C-alpha cells in the first residue's frame, strides 16, 4: 500500500472534542444544553445501529438527546405530528429523521416538514438551495465530513478534477455542491453514465457513494488520487467494506479512507457539529427578532 490513510476516526475525535467545547459554551451562555432529536421509525437493523451511535455520541459531547421511536406501521400523519411537535419544542435545536422510512411513507413530505433552522441533516430544500447558491448554512453531514477530512490532511481541492460516483439526494448531489464550493472541477456519475471507468480514471479526487461492495475496481483509480469511500457494505464474509476495492486502490492512490473508520465516524461528528451550529443560529435568530 502506498496511499496515506485518511483516518476518519482520529479526525472525528478531534471534531467531537471541538463540539463538546462549543456545546459547553452554549450551555454556559443560555442555561441549557443544545438539544438533538433523533426520530426512528421501525427497526431497520442498520438504522438502529446508526441511531444508537448518534444518541450516545450526542450525550458524550454535552448535547441533550431526545429519542422518538415509532413503530414500523406508524402512518405519515403520525410521523408528521412528531416532527411538528419537535419544530415547536424550544429545547430541540436539531431534528434528524433516520432514513430510510418505511414503504408507504413519503420521505420528501417528512423531510420538508422539518424546520430548516433545525435541519441538522441539511436535507431540507432550503438548505440544499443555500448550499447550491454558495451560502451554506446547515450542510449534509457526509459531504461536509469529506471536506473537513480533506482540510485536515492539507488536500487543497481548488482546481482538482473531482468525480462523484452516485447522485443521491443525501450524498452524491450535496457532495458535488460541496466540491464545487471548494472550487474543484466536478463530474457526477450515475446509472446513466456512459463510460464510468473513463470518468473514474480522470479523477484526482474520487468520492464513491454507491452502496455496493467493491463496485469500483482499484485499477481504475488514478495514481496519486485522493479516494473518499462513503460506502458501508456488508461483505459475504460478514465484515464491512466500501464501494472501492481497497487493497488494489490503496496501491495506487495518494490518500484513501478506510472502511470502517473513514466517513462513518466523520458523518456522526459533523452531525454533532451541525447540532451546535443550529443551536447558535436559533439563539441568534431569536435575539435579533
Please give the positions annotated as active site. Answer: 54, 98, 121
C-alpha span between 134 and 78 (Å, rounded): 35
Tell me how far, at minimum, the Cβ of 59 lies from ligand GUN, in Å: 18
Q: Which of residues 35-94 bind ligand GUN (CB under 6 A)?
A: none
Q: Which of 57, 98, 163, 274 is the binder for ligand GUN (CB under 6 A)? A: 98
Residue 40 vs 163, nearer CB to ligand GUN: 40
C-alpha span between 91 and 95 (Å, rounded): 11
- Supply φ then ψ for residue 95, to 5 degrees: -125, 125
Q: Which of 24, 27, 80, 99 is the binder for ligand GUN (CB under 6 A)? A: 99
C-alpha span between 68 and 48 (Å, rounded): 12
Q: What is the largest CA-CA distance in the chain?
A: 56
Q: Does 180 bind ligand GUN (CB under 6 A)?
A: no
Q: Does 170 bind ligand GUN (CB under 6 A)?
A: yes
Strands 35-41 and 94-97: parallel
Q: Does 97 bind ligand GUN (CB under 6 A)?
A: yes
Contact, 208 vs 165, CB < 8 A? yes
Contact, 270 vs 148, CB < 8 A? yes
Tell me how far, at minimum, the Cβ of 121 lies from ligand GUN, in Å: 5
Residue 121 vs 243, nearer CB to ligand GUN: 121
Q: Which of residues 208-267 bind ligand GUN (CB under 6 A)?
A: 267
C-alpha span between 241 and 150 (Å, rounded): 21
Residue 104 vs 223, nearer CB to ligand GUN: 104
- Residue 249, all three cell numbers: 486502490
Residue 98 vs 127, nearer CB to ligand GUN: 98
SS3 280: helix
Contact, 220 vs 201, CB < 8 A? yes
Residue 85 vs 284, nearer CB to ligand GUN: 85
Q: Which stretch binds ligand GUN (CB under 6 A): 8-16, 78-86, 95-103, 229-237?
A: 95-103
Residue 123 vs 255, nearer CB to ligand GUN: 123
Q: Which of residues 103-162 bind ligand GUN (CB under 6 A)?
A: 121, 141-142
Q: Does 178 bind ligand GUN (CB under 6 A)?
A: no
Q: How far is CA 272 from CA 57, 77, 139, in A?
A: 8, 28, 12
Q: Which of 96, 167, 263, 266 is the binder for ligand GUN (CB under 6 A)? A: 96
Q: Does 184 bind ligand GUN (CB under 6 A)?
A: no
Other C-beta atoms within 10 Å of 237: how many? Answer: 6
Residues lying near ligand GUN in the complex (CB under 6 A) are found at: 96-99, 121, 141-142, 170, 267
Amino acid at each position: 500500500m502506498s496511499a496515506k490513510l485518511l483516518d476518519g476516526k482520529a479526525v472525528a475525535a478531534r471534531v467531537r472534542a471541538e463540539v463538546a467545547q462549543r456545546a459547553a459554551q452554549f450551555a454556559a451562555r443560555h442555561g441549557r444544553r443544545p438539544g438533538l432529536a433523533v426520530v426512528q421509525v421501525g427497526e431497520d437493523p442498520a438504522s438502529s445501529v446508526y441511531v444508537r451511535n448518534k444518541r450516545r455520541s450526542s450525550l458524550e459531547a454535552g448535547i441533550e438527546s431526545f429519542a422518538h421511536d415509532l413503530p414500523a406501521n406508524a402512518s405519515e400523519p403520525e410521523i408528521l405530528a412528531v416532527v411538528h411537535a419537535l419544530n415547536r419544542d424550544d429545547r430541540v435545536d436539531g431534528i434528524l429523521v433516520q432514513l430510510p422510512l418505511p414503504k408507504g411513507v413519503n420521505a420528501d413530505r417528512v423531510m420538508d416538514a422539518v424546520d430548516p433552522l433545525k435541519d441538522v441533516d441539511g436535507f431540507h430544500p432550503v438548505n440544499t438551495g443555500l448550499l447550491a447558491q454558495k451560502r451554506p448554512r446547515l450542510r449534509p453531514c457526509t459531504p461536509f465530513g469529506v471536506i473537513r477530512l480533506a482540510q485536515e490532511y492539507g488536500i487543497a481541492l481548488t482546481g482538482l478534477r473531482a468525480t462523484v460516483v452516485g447522485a443521491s439526494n443525501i450524498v452524491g448531489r450535496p457532495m458535488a455542491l460541496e466540491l464545487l464550493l471548494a472550487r474543484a472541477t466536478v463530474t457526477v456519475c450515475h446509472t446513466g453514465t456512459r463510460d464510468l471507468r473513463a470518468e473514474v480514471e480522470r479523477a484526482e479526487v474520487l468520492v464513491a457513494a454507491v452502496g455496493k461492495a467493491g463496485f469500483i475496481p482499484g485499477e481504475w483509480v488514478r495514481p496519486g488520487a485522493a479516494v473518499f469511500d462513503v460506502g458501508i457494505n456488508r461483505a459475504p464474509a460478514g465484515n464491512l467494506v466500501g464501494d472501492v476495492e481497497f487493497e488494489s486502490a490503496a496501491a495506487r492512490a495518494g490518500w484513501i479512507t478506510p472502511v470502517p473508520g473513514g466517513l462513518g465516524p466523520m458523518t456522526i461528528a459533523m452531525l454533532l457539529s451541525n447540532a451546535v451550529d443550529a443551536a447558535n443560529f436559533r439563539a441568534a435568530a431569536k435575539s435579533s427578532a
